[in-house]
Chain A
Amino acid sequence: MPTFLSVLLRGLLAGLVAGLIAGTFAYFAGEPRIDAAITIEEQATHSEPGTGEDHHEDELVSRNGQRAGLFLATGLFGVAMGGLLATAYVLLRRRLRTADDGRAALLLAGGALLGAVVVPFLKYPANPPAVGNPDTINQRTGSYLLLVVLGLVAVWAAALGYRAVRPDAPEWQRGAAAVGGFLLVTAVSYIVLPTFHEVPEDFPATLLWNFRLASLGTQVVLWTGIGLLFAALLTWSGGGRSGGGGRDRRQVADRLAGSADGPGETDEARNGVDAPVRP
């Protein structure tokens, strides 16, 4: 499985580096907000001893330990996301009708950012410490994960909509069909899934807003970094395994798909032919 392994390693590396960059962003943009929220949380806990069943209080890991753990978390999360993106790339490469590997990688990363981050975030935005009812954590986690999946389905629906319109139609019509497919799935998902109102009445609105911006920014940095680095690693070098310099950016596509993707070619036609059909 040399091809899959080589693509996977590129994805894992891109994810690690992007995760550490995202961690750096989160450190400067998010940590001050977490500190402020923890201060509020501790005040609330101390004023209401009966509700003090909070795990920030048990000092299992110091605040400095948690600040270092931030980089561990974003780094490992980045590795996982980079690997998943690389796996999706290998499985879906033929279906992305572009001959350019880098463009295919960026399309997938952009789709992941939209479907797995932006769509869930707009209904279930990130919350700082001191916000959230521990009793509903299982429902919130389940709904969140379901919305991640549905967000990716919405992106898929956009691709289906785009392709449902004839290729010779004006581009705006194909774009409108894509938007329509995306909005249909997203709107139904938002309506069907439960809503949680758990922000305390007296929690500072500015702090909440700044924390959520920092959180969204962290994910945007992560996925932008994964996409750009993965695309760069795919196109930058073949690694010299099968020799030969002068590799162009279509090399991985050629190896994966067997031949350059023609714009009018169907998936079936491509899947059915392993050997190059064109010189």
Chain B
Amino acid sequence: MSSSTPARTLAHPAISARLLWVALAVVAALSLLTYLVAFDQGAVSQSGMYLHELMHDGRHLLGVPCH
């Protein structure tokens, strides 16, 4: 396999501080998305209750406490 070179260069980021920061940023962004879909009551999205109402059925069926 030709995987020895990628293994050498790509294994390092798996434990580097930079990868951890990037992963943290990704987790933060995806948590915000989760919040907007499942928990926002209009305060963060500044959409009033529009997003809340639009995705209301999804909240209930995904099992998130709603009201």
Residues of B with C-beta under 8 A to A216: 63
Asked if A206 is at the interface of the complex by the 8 Å CB criterion, the answer is: no
Residues of B with C-beta under 8 A to A83: 26, 30
Q: In chain A between 227 and 279, which residues have their CB closer than 8 angstroms to a CB of chain B?
A: 242-244, 248, 251, 254-259, 271, 274-276
How far apart are the CA atoms of A258 and B11 in the complex, in Å? 5
Chain A, 59-94, contact with B by CB distance < 8 Å: what is the 0/1 string? 011000111011111101101110110010011011
Chain A nearest CB from B7 CB (Å) reads: 5
Asked if A51 is at the interface of the complex by the 8 Å CB criterion, the answer is: no
Asked if B46 is at the interface of the complex by the 8 Å CB criterion, the answer is: no
| A215-B62 contact, Cβ under 8 Å, with A80-B37, A274-B12 | yes
How far apart are the CA atoms of A76 and B59 in the complex, in Å? 12
| A66 pairs with B53, CB closer than 8 A | yes
Spot the interface stretch: A104-112, A119-127, A162-170. Answer: A119-127
How many chain B residues sit at the interface, stated as a range, is 35 or more
Residues of A with C-beta under 8 A to B14: 3, 90, 93-94, 256-258
| B58 pairs with A74, CB closer than 8 A | yes
| B23 pairs with A69, CB closer than 8 A | no
Chain A nearest CB from B67 CB (Å) reads: 5
| Partner pick for A61 among B3, B26, B56, CB 8 A cutoff | B56
Q: Give 20 CB contacts A-B under 8 Å.
A: A3-B6, A30-B57, A31-B57, A60-B49, A61-B53, A66-B53, A69-B53, A69-B56, A69-B58, A70-B55, A73-B54, A73-B62, A77-B58, A77-B62, A84-B31, A121-B63, A126-B61, A214-B61, A271-B15, A276-B7
